Amino acid sequence: MKKSKKMGIVIGIVIILGLSVWFLLGMWIAQGQKPVAGGTNEFAIILGAKVNGETPSLTLHYRLKAALSYAETHPDVRFILSGGQGPDEEISEAEAMRRYLTEHGIDEGRLLMESQSTSTYENLLYSKKLLPEDIDSITIITSDFHLARARMLADSLGLKTDALAAKTPESVKIQQHIRERLAIIKTYIVGK
């Protein structure tokens, strides 16, 4: 067999494997949105996303809209607002979330702040420390593409979860889905 034919076969196999992994990760991301939260957990963690100055990014805004609706429907649920402050952010993601929710009528007494985290793993690790010791089941509120990995990380920390998926803005959907697939592979290999 000629060298170029062998190379073509290898390239074909790599492409097929890559597409298979891409498709399987997409299915896994979709499954991460179930079971859907129904207000049975006492605490929900809202995972942060970029803040532009002091304004929530569109991704964070969509998460907050979903959380606000959930808070209004389930008035006994308390929320952990989880997200630190990046170098280009004037306030922490947690503070941006607190401002949004209180400006939209959510009682500040329902909100706990976690403002040190810089990754999804840290969001969950540091938020878990704010939970009462007898709580081991939570609701995670984040973007639809992000739930599968967030729930995998929560499971690794001993937390049972249900999920509330916020819509992903169309303007970042492709970029976020590519980034998340790579992050899932990294999490699977590294563990966080």
* H helix runs in 32-144, sequence order: 58-73, 93-103, 120-128
**Cis geometry, peptide bond prior to residue 35 (ω within 30 degrees of 0):** yes
- What is the structure's pLDDT at 3? 77
Break the chain into its structural domains and give their ranges. Answer: 32-190
Which token pair is 168?
Answer: 């992903």
CB atoms within 10 A of CB 135: 14
* H helix runs in 44-117, sequence order: 58-73, 93-103
Q: What is the pLDDT of residues 106-159, one digit of tens each?
A: 999 999 999 999 999 999 999 999 999 999 999 999 999 889 889 989 999 999
User: CATH: 3.30.300.30, 3.40.50.620, 3.90.110.10, 2.70.98.30. Which one for 32-190?
Assistant: 3.40.50.620
Q: What is the pLDDT of residues 154-177, one digit of tens each?
A: 999 999 999 999 988 777 767 777
CB 135 within 8 A of CB 43: yes
Q: Which amino acid is at 95?
A: E
Q: Which amino acid is at 117?
A: S
